Amino acid sequence: MDLLTELQERISAGLVNKTLTHCSRWAEHRRIMGEPLPGKYSFKHHPWCREIHDSRASTNTTMKAAQMGMTEIAINRALFTIDVLKKDVLYVLPTAINAGDFAKARFNTALTYSDYLKEIFTDTNTSGLKQAGGVCLYIRGSRGDSNLKSIPVAVLILDELDEMDPKQIHLAKERLSGHKEKSIWQISTPTIPDKGIHEKYIEGTQEHYIFKCPRCGRQTELVYPDCLEIIGESITDPRVHESFLKCRECGGRLEHETKTEWLSDANCEWVPTVTDCDESHRSFYINQLYSYAMMPGEIAQAHFHGLGDEAAQVEFNNSKLGLPYVPDGGQVTDDELKAAVRDYRKNDQRPTGPGRLITMGVDQGAWNHICIVEYFVTGGQYDINAESKAKLLWEGKRDASDFKELDRLMREWQILACVIDARPQINDARRFARRFPGYVWLCTYPVGVAGKELQEADADSGAPILKVDRTNWLDASQGRFHSGRIVLPLDVSLEFKDNIKAPIRTYKRDDLGNAQAIYLNTKPDHYAHAFNYAEIALPLAAGITTSQDITDKVV
């Protein structure tokens, strides 16, 4: 190349650079993509992404179905911010492994395809740090405080927010505190209502992607089930692939093959669905009915798959529809709590002697939340938790510094077995257990314990620690409300009711892709765990074959 040609190309490149003041235009000129859509980055198959690229809001939240192009928006925002705005960026993923894999598979690949990006990044060998001159891109996992400390940045990107610890999210946001002009980008498929990305989404403008129907000309959007005409009767029915999209307004068929035409930039817009919100926080929602890559028949198959499989139904709602979802029976309801109330009060049922099967559960925290429960065995003792009914005798909370109050409750209620959360005050809990040897157990929820197994450790210390499976025991305690095997006093507290409703049973995929039941929650759940510890104590109490009056226990 002669000097004149090189000079002309540099001048031309400089002129182009001056026009790339919007992220969407920058992406079209600077990003080169590989399969499945090789070539220059384009909005042809993801038109909903353009306006999100260019949002000037200080906070931007996207609640999405899977594979909707949102991670590419995040990558483009990061690279644009570094190249054009000359500001540092912190890109956070759920774990350090996620971050390392992402850096190699997505960012390094983006640089490999683009000669321009390869030139501006001076160091791409460190997975957690990319440098372009004096500007840095930090790629971190959310777990572990040290990953997110001492990184002052102007832009924060949180990718797959629902898989992150809320405490770590707060710590990441503190990295912006040194900048007057700053922005947050948070994206995720949702899990349950009012948690994670859904909680953030409802704080913003709650924008939906609206288009003009090619049939009737009215403004509409693609929503499930109104816009999916399902053909066939099962997932194996060959006719299921004849399923098609239709207009919610007129019912007219929307051809998948021409989707890039009726969902073109000129035919669509993001429209807020609420007006009384902070306009500096734009929030967006998009589902897979809009996807060019996802055929209507595939969505119909996912629908059928979910009909007979709870885990698949969760996956369908979260990953296909981009919606938070609570499975049937996944949460204690107000109606179930109301049905459990009986005509007695919390202090009416104090025992007058031995012989009653009474346990106590204690959840530690700023307060000790306490549940005292009496059990009545109704069947054989193959599974005493499943074959018994429960009566909440008393619930309340006491100052966490006053463990002697637990001693009083043990005596007054003639507790046959007590299970207490091992932390945070583990030494106080141990001393409490030693004051009542054979009646008190500490408890933890470690990984690797299966079913209702009770693994006991430190038995010789006088303060035995149980290791139990959190999900299976919550299934047992929460299941009492679903099956009507629990009664509550008239004066049961509102806090108890709210706490019992907090755990939500849903599913997630493990590292091997298998569905795994888990409990998530959006609100305080102290009494739910105190009640769960009382449930765990039941087989321990039943194992004490001779009921003893512990009023005279030596303390």
**CA-based nearest residue to 328, from 504, 193, 204:** 504
Asked if the model's pLDDT at residue 555 lies above 50, the reply is: no
**Which pLDDT belongs to residue 546?**
41
Residues 456 and 433: beta-carbon distance below 8 Å: no
Amino acid letter, residue 315: E
**Which pLDDT belongs to residue 19?**
79
Q: Per residue in 327-374, pLDDT tens?
A: 999 999 999 999 999 999 998 877 776 778 999 999 999 999 999 999
Residues 181 and 56: beta-carbon distance below 8 Å: no
Q: What's the rounded mean pLDDT across residues 390-411?
A: 94
Residue 17's pLDDT band, with cuts at 50, 70 and 90, is: low
Instruction: Give me the residue label for tokens 């993801």.
Output: 46
**Which pLDDT belongs to residue 451?**
64
**Which pLDDT belongs to residue 462?**
75
- Pairing mode of beta strands 207-212, 219-220: antiparallel
More confident residue, 430 or 13: 430
**Which pLDDT belongs to residue 78?**
94
Instruction: Give me the residue label for tokens 């157990």.
Output: 441
**Which pLDDT belongs to residue 510?**
76
Residues 90 and 157: beta-carbon distance below 8 Å: yes
Instruction: Work out the percent of the chain whose per-residue pLDDT is above 90.
Output: 67
Q: Per residue in 267-286, pLDDT tens?
A: 999 999 998 877 899 999 99
**CA-based nearest residue to 110, from 130, 136, 93, 135:** 130
Residues 464 and 457: beta-carbon distance below 8 Å: yes
User: Rounded distance, CA 346 to CA 394, Å?
Assistant: 5
Asked if the model's pLDDT at residue 455 lies above 90, the reply is: no
Residues 255 and 239: beta-carbon distance below 8 Å: no
**CA-based nearest residue to 156, from 78, 63, 75, 90:** 90
CATH class of 334-543: alpha beta
Residues 412 and 372: beta-carbon distance below 8 Å: no
User: Rounded distance, CA 430 to CA 443, Å?
Assistant: 11
DSSP 8-state code for residue 317: I
Asked if the model's pLDDT at residue 144 lies above 80, the reply is: no
Q: What's the rounded mean pLDDT across residues 4-26?
A: 66
Amino acid letter, residue 107: F
Asked if the model's pLDDT at residue 472 lies above 80, the reply is: yes
**C-alpha to C-alpha distances, 279 to 155, 226, 380, nearest whole angstrom:** 19, 30, 61
Cβ atoms within 10 Å, residue 402 = 12
Q: What's the rounded mean pLDDT across residues 412-426?
A: 94
Asked if the model's pLDDT at residue 3 lies above 60, the reply is: no
**Which pLDDT belongs to residue 198?**
97
Amino acid letter, residue 35: E
User: Rounded distance, CA 194 to CA 200, Å?
Assistant: 8
**C-alpha to C-alpha distances, 448 to 238, 327, 414, nearest whole angstrom:** 42, 25, 34
Cis omega before residue 36 (within 30°)? yes
Q: Per residue in 175-211, pLDDT tens?
A: 787 777 889 999 999 999 999 999 999 999 999 999 9
More confident residue, 94 or 12: 94
CATH class of 21-320: alpha beta
User: Rounded distance, CA 401 to CA 389, Å?
Assistant: 33
| Burial degree of 490 (CB within 10 A; 0-12, 13-18, 19+) | exposed
Q: What's the rounded mean pLDDT across residues 60-69?
A: 96
Most confident of 10-24, 26-40, 117-131, 457-471: 26-40
**Which pLDDT belongs to residue 106?**
85
pTM of the model: 0.86
Cβ atoms within 10 Å, residue 460 = 7
Q: What's the rounded mean pLDDT across residues 512-537?
A: 92
Residue 133's pLDDT band, with cuts at 50, 70 and 90, is: confident
Q: Answer positive or negative: Cα dihedral of 328, 330, 334, 335.
A: positive
Q: Per residue in 225-274, pLDDT tens?
A: 999 999 999 999 999 999 999 999 999 999 999 999 999 988 999 999 99
Amino acid letter, residue 38: P
DSSP 8-state code for residue 150: S
User: Rounded distance, CA 154 to CA 444, Å?
Assistant: 40
Q: What are the extents of the domains in the chain?
A: 21-320, 334-543
**Which pLDDT belongs to residue 513?**
74
User: Rounded distance, CA 517 to CA 471, Å?
Assistant: 7
Asked if the model's pLDDT at residue 460 lies above 70, the reply is: no
**Which pLDDT belongs to residue 533?**
98
| Burial degree of 288 (CB within 10 A; 0-12, 13-18, 19+) | buried
Q: How many CA atoms lie within 13 A of 117 on its CB side?
A: 24
Asked if the model's pLDDT at residue 450 lies above 70, the reply is: no
Instruction: Work out the percent of the chain whose per-residue pLDDT is above 70.
Output: 90
**Which pLDDT belongs to residue 15?**
47
Residues 248 and 227: beta-carbon distance below 8 Å: yes
More confident residue, 354 or 93: 93
More confident residue, 127 or 433: 433
